[in-house]
Chains A and B, each alone.
Chain A
Amino acid sequence: MPVNETLSQYSDWSYTTAVAVYVLAMIFFLVEQSFGRQGRQAAARTKQASRELVGAGGPATTAVTGDVPQGPSRPGHRTKAERMGRTGVALTVLAVALHLAAILLRGFATSRVPWGNMYEYIMVICFVTVVTWLVVMRKSPVRHLSAFVLLPMVILMFVGGTMLYAVAAPVQPALQSYWLIIHVAAAAASSGVFLVPGVASILWLIKARNEKNPAKFAKFGPRLPALDVLDRIAYRTTVFAFPVFTFGVLCGAVWAEAAWGRFWGWDPKETVAFIAWVIYAAYLHSRATAGWRGTRAAVINVVGFVATVFNLFFVNLVTTGLHSYAGVG
């Protein structure tokens, strides 16, 4: 399987350009989020929207989701901040297109699925994150928060592109299996989605802190959407990612049975995947337990995300196990 150097080069260029455009989009979102009045208005809009979404006790009204009126602004009468946000979205969509091109070109260059080493894996994770966020943005009025999702993602892409970069090459024999397509795709998809609830839960905690004591995060807190909006985003995305993650772990076990002679052997990666799975299971249970809703659930979700990141970096780069496919060094 020869590697097509030209396509690989184009893939690298797309990747770099995508990162640059993400950074630019992030700046636009930050402007929307930060500029005083407008930022607060954005938060107020989401608060209003959330009330409509929940529709608590509103007589004779059926809650309508989706078409949330965008506050006081009518088309053609957008505030500056809102224009900034819209530009940010446009830039993000452009960057996603470049990002996708980078992934596809890498795949064509190597004639295999483009998630065979850590650089490619992170590239896919980040792509999933942004796509998830674009979907969330369509459903909930949280556009002005985009920077907080883009920031960790851009950092990941930067680390991936600089420190973990691997030249396009075929994969080693252990990875030559159709399970590479299924297992790694599921793992990347779930990890990518898990970033969104992680960020939403952190913002939830900040907002809760601010509501308890307005002196805390006095500037930042009021610009965040209502607690239940953040909680719903975290819950919905987790509920989507959890089964995908479970599926990924199950496929991993089936593959391990064929490749390593046992379906489960407490390899470091397996162990941390198990830990993350248990934590997210605890999150789902905590939301149904009195006294654990709210703060504790949010903390658990953040811990789950920490476990996911730990699994990505520490286990791949520091420990030696059967999952040492990083292609680094």
Chain B
Amino acid sequence: MTSTTSPARENGGGYRQTPARKALAFLRNTWRGLTSMRTALVLLFLLALAALPGALLPQRSLNEPKTLEYIEARGWWGQLLDRLQFFDVYGSVWFSAIYLLLMVSLVGCLMPRTRDYIRSMRTKPVLTPRNLARLPHHASAETDVDADEVLAAAKRRLRGWRVAEREEKNGARSLSAERGYLRETGNLVFHFGMLGLIVAFALGKMYSYEGQVIVVEGDPFCNSGIYAYDSFNPGLRVDGTELSPFCVRVNDFTATYIDNGQPLAYEADIEYQSADDLAGDVWHPYHLAVNDPLRTQGDRLYLLGHGYAPTFTVTYPDGTERTGTIQWKPVDERTMLSEGATKFERPDTTDPEAQRENQLAITGLFAPTAAMQGNILTSSFPSLNEPMVAVDIMRGDLGMDSGRGQSIFEIDQSMVDNGRLEKVARENIAVGEQITIDDGTKIRFDGVRQWVSLQVSHDPTQGWVLGFAIAMFAGLGASLFIKRRRLWVRVTPATSGEDERRTVVEVGGLARTDQAGYGEEFTRIAEDLLRRDRKAH
């Protein structure tokens, strides 16, 4: 750190240390320190270091259940890390602090550079050095061509360069030429592009949202509010009231696999309506596939996953029938063995107590291509070749009125543990088969429908982010590959020799950036300029 006081000043050497001055000096030094390249480098490292935990530890934003499990398993250590925001790295105070400081540093670095850049765009190329022979690149020759002609030819050759002509004291004349200003242009474009990208990214985080929903084949889905979704991640400024309305119908889902069960394609035939169509009955067909989202009204609809929803029909003793189709979740992606719970309320009584005591749940495993290992049901292939379920029929209080949220994929185990929900049957049944339980209720496995998991994404700034990214990339290319280089030509009338008038032509060159590579170009230009000469030195 720079100290603001020095012995000379303390002795009162013509400089009074008022508090205001001190504060100003402190601010100035802080600003200089923050905007120096050294600080920027340290900040870049801190940024890289701070991003690392996000790759090593589970993150809430990516996988909440896994994160909670991880914290649980680590005890106080996990709690501590959690309190230090190690599971929300990219929203954490320290990560934000680093990148904000880096942005300040960037702005502080860009302002003077932009000023210099504008100034350099208006100034002439620098004076010709007195001794061109001292430059890294140099060549000279004598010619009998007139000085004017040499200079005119040089100017023609140096088209594309910024050139200034100057008269010198001893009758010599010189050209200063400079090229490669685009390097700095590219540099600035890159850095401003990066600033723009960060700002657009941050704005996107405020106004974007993402919602996931599972839709069973044949059912519709409308983007009408948060309640329509299974999960919804709004940006900071999104309250879910102003979603752009559109509706989709999933008509058909197809998954194709190769012989070993590896998926080859997932595709869904859907129909959608948006904007003005919503009032009428106009539906547009769309082929929704992985890598091929539907884009409509600034929203995107993605096909993320799929699974099976078995249909069960319960026939109560009095003949009342209830049919339920609910998604079960895949537990093994390779064979699509799934698990879930299909739940039924008792319809044949109006007594709330009796209703609650006699709820039914069908829970267990579903295999699209059944393969028995002894008595255990497994699946041997992910597509629907020989569907079968291995289910427990649970009767009693499912706990749906308990006020606690409950997963649609499982039953509330605590109701089983306290004896209010009991198992009344366990069986493996194929499509069309049924189970009869003690009170005469029949449960039939009717068939299977497929479901797809869809995601709706909305991000109003992503076009801006792309634009800034492209600017960054173009700027980067220019700033890395264009060389800033200078070239000088001096013509001096020869003083010695015979009667003929001769002209000494000297050429010097200097690369202002990476030296390597300018040599070839310089040699070429120098040869062109001195070509007429016979007595090259």
Q: Which residues of chain A have a CB within 8 Å of any CB of chain B?
A: 1, 53-57, 59-65, 169-170, 172-174, 176-177, 179, 232, 235-236, 239, 242-243, 246-247, 250, 253-255, 257-268, 271-272, 274-275, 278-279, 281-282, 284-286, 288-289, 291-292, 307, 315, 319, 321
The residue in A169, A257, A261 that gathers the most chain B C-beta atoms within 10 A of its C-beta is A261
Q: How far is the CA of A1 from the CA of B256 in the complex (A)?
A: 12
Q: How far is the CA of A275 from the CA of B462 in the complex (A)?
A: 22
The answer to whether A292 and B41 have CB atoms under 8 Å apart is yes
**Chain A residues, Cβ within 8 Å of B41:** 282, 285-286, 289, 292
The answer to whether B455 and A174 have CB atoms under 8 Å apart is no
The answer to whether A250 and B263 have CB atoms under 8 Å apart is no
B372 within 8 A of A: no
The answer to whether B136 and A278 have CB atoms under 8 Å apart is no
Q: How far is the CA of A281 from the CA of B55 in the complex (A)?
A: 20
B526 within 8 A of A: yes
The answer to whether B516 and A53 have CB atoms under 8 Å apart is yes
**Chain B residues, Cβ within 8 Å of A53:** 516
B175 to chain A, nearest CB (A): 18
30 A-B residue contacts at CB 8 Å?
A53-B516, A60-B140, A61-B138, A63-B137, A65-B516, A173-B263, A173-B264, A173-B265, A176-B291, A242-B476, A246-B476, A258-B292, A261-B293, A262-B459, A263-B459, A266-B54, A266-B59, A266-B62, A268-B54, A272-B52, A275-B52, A278-B45, A278-B48, A279-B45, A282-B45, A282-B48, A284-B480, A289-B38, A292-B38, A315-B55
A interface footprint on B259-272 (CB within 8 Å = 1, 0 otherwise): 00011111000000
A58 to chain B, nearest CB (A): 8
Q: How far is the CA of A246 from the CA of B44 in the complex (A)?
A: 16
The answer to whether A62 and B526 have CB atoms under 8 Å apart is yes
A258 to chain B, nearest CB (A): 5
Question: Would you list the 4 A-B pairs with minimal beta carbon distance, nearest first?
Answer: A271-B55, A268-B55, A63-B519, A177-B291
Q: Which residues of chain B have a CB within 8 Å of any CB of chain A?
A: 37-38, 40-41, 44-45, 47-48, 51-52, 54-56, 59, 61-62, 89-90, 133-134, 136-140, 201, 210, 258, 262-266, 289-293, 300, 302, 304, 455, 457, 459, 462, 465-466, 469-470, 472-473, 476-477, 480-481, 514-517, 519-520, 522-523, 526, 537
- A287's nearest neighbour on chain B, judged by CB, is B514
From A55, A242, A247, A282, B519 is in contact (CB under 8 Å) with A55
Q: How far is the CA of A246 from the CA of B480 in the complex (A)?
A: 13
Q: How far is the CA of A265 from the CA of B208 in the complex (A)?
A: 13
Q: How far is the CA of A238 from the CA of B427 in the complex (A)?
A: 64
Question: Once A and B bind, how many residue pairs between them come within 8 Å at the CB atom?
Answer: 152
Known: A261-B300, A262-B457, A289-B38. A62 touches B522 (CB 8 A): yes
The residue in A1, A61, A173, A272 that gathers the most chain B C-beta atoms within 10 A of its C-beta is A173
**Chain A residues, Cβ within 8 Å of B264:** 1, 170, 172-173
Q: How far is the CA of A286 from the CA of B517 in the complex (A)?
A: 21
The answer to whether B54 and A271 have CB atoms under 8 Å apart is yes
The answer to whether B138 and A59 have CB atoms under 8 Å apart is yes
Known: A232-B516, A266-B62, A282-B44. A174 touches B291 (CB 8 A): yes
The answer to whether A242 and B469 have CB atoms under 8 Å apart is no
The answer to whether B133 and A246 have CB atoms under 8 Å apart is no
Q: How far is the CA of A136 from the CA of B222 in the complex (A)?
A: 59
- B201's nearest neighbour on chain A, judged by CB, is A264
From A60, A272, A278, B133 is in contact (CB under 8 Å) with A60
**Chain B residues, Cβ within 8 Å of A271:** 51-52, 54-55
Q: How far is the CA of A232 from the CA of B133 in the complex (A)?
A: 25
- B265's nearest neighbour on chain A, judged by CB, is A173
A291 to chain B, nearest CB (A): 7
**New A-B pairs, 17, CB < 8 Å, besides A173-B290, A243-B477, A275-B55:** A53-B516, A59-B133, A62-B526, A63-B136, A65-B517, A65-B519, A169-B262, A173-B265, A174-B290, A246-B476, A250-B469, A263-B462, A263-B466, A271-B51, A272-B55, A275-B52, A278-B45
**Chain A residues, Cβ within 8 Å of B469:** 250, 253
**Chain B residues, Cβ within 8 Å of A170:** 258, 262, 264
**Chain A residues, Cβ within 8 Å of B137:** 55, 62-63
Q: How far is the CA of A279 from the CA of B266 in the complex (A)?
A: 38
- A174's nearest neighbour on chain B, judged by CB, is B290
The residue in B210, B480, B522, B526 that gathers the most chain A C-beta atoms within 10 A of its C-beta is B480
From B139, B462, B476, A243 is in contact (CB under 8 Å) with B476
The answer to whether B473 and A242 have CB atoms under 8 Å apart is no
From A55, A264, A267, B136 is in contact (CB under 8 Å) with A55
**Chain B residues, Cβ within 8 Å of A246:** 472-473, 476
The answer to whether B133 and A289 have CB atoms under 8 Å apart is no
**Chain B residues, Cβ within 8 Å of A174:** 290-291
The answer to whether B51 and A275 have CB atoms under 8 Å apart is yes
A268 to chain B, nearest CB (A): 4
B159 to chain A, nearest CB (A): 22
**Chain A residues, Cβ within 8 Å of B292:** 258
Q: How far is the CA of A117 from the CA of B37 in the complex (A)?
A: 40
Q: How far is the CA of A232 from the CA of B47 in the complex (A)?
A: 27
**Chain B residues, Cβ within 8 Å of A284:** 480
The answer to whether A279 and B48 have CB atoms under 8 Å apart is yes
**Chain B residues, Cβ within 8 Å of A254:** 466
**Chain B residues, Cβ within 8 Å of A59:** 133-134, 138
From A62, A239, A278, B47 is in contact (CB under 8 Å) with A278
B48 to chain A, nearest CB (A): 4
- B210's nearest neighbour on chain A, judged by CB, is A261
The answer to whether A288 and B526 have CB atoms under 8 Å apart is no
Q: How far is the CA of A54 from the CA of B363 in the complex (A)?
A: 77
From B38, B201, B466, B537, A60 is in contact (CB under 8 Å) with B537
**Chain A residues, Cβ within 8 Å of B38:** 289, 291-292
The residue in B55, B62, B136 that gathers the most chain A C-beta atoms within 10 A of its C-beta is B55
Q: How far is the CA of A261 from the CA of B520 in the complex (A)?
A: 49
Known: A278-B47, A285-B41. A250 touches B519 (CB 8 A): no
Q: How far is the CA of A284 from the CA of B52 in the complex (A)?
A: 21
Q: How far is the CA of A265 from the CA of B63 in the complex (A)?
A: 12
From B134, B136, B457, B466, A261 is in contact (CB under 8 Å) with B457
The answer to whether B516 and A319 have CB atoms under 8 Å apart is no
**Chain A residues, Cβ within 8 Å of B289:** 173
**Chain B residues, Cβ within 8 Å of A239:** 480-481
From A57, A258, A307, A319, B56 is in contact (CB under 8 Å) with A319
**Chain B residues, Cβ within 8 Å of A275:** 48, 51-52, 55
The residue in B48, B54, B266 that gathers the most chain A C-beta atoms within 10 A of its C-beta is B48
**Chain A residues, Cβ within 8 Å of B526:** 62
**Chain A residues, Cβ within 8 Å of B481:** 239
Known: A62-B137, A266-B62, A271-B54. A285 touches B40 (CB 8 A): yes
- B255's nearest neighbour on chain A, judged by CB, is A173
The answer to whether B473 and A278 have CB atoms under 8 Å apart is no
**Chain B residues, Cβ within 8 Å of A272:** 52, 55
- A319's nearest neighbour on chain B, judged by CB, is B55
Q: How far is the CA of A82 from the CA of B365 in the complex (A)?
A: 70
B99 to chain A, nearest CB (A): 11
A269 to chain B, nearest CB (A): 8
**Chain A residues, Cβ within 8 Å of B473:** 243, 246-247, 250
B57 to chain A, nearest CB (A): 10
The answer to whether A285 and B262 have CB atoms under 8 Å apart is no
Q: How far is the CA of A257 from the CA of B136 in the complex (A)?
A: 50
Q: How far is the CA of A257 from the CA of B462 in the complex (A)?
A: 9
Known: A62-B523, A169-B262, A263-B465. A258 touches B37 (CB 8 A): no
A174 to chain B, nearest CB (A): 5
The answer to whether A176 and B459 have CB atoms under 8 Å apart is no
B246 to chain A, nearest CB (A): 16
B472 to chain A, nearest CB (A): 8
The answer to whether A243 and B44 have CB atoms under 8 Å apart is no
Q: How far is the CA of A291 from the CA of B472 in the complex (A)?
A: 27
**Chain A residues, Cβ within 8 Å of B52:** 271-272, 275
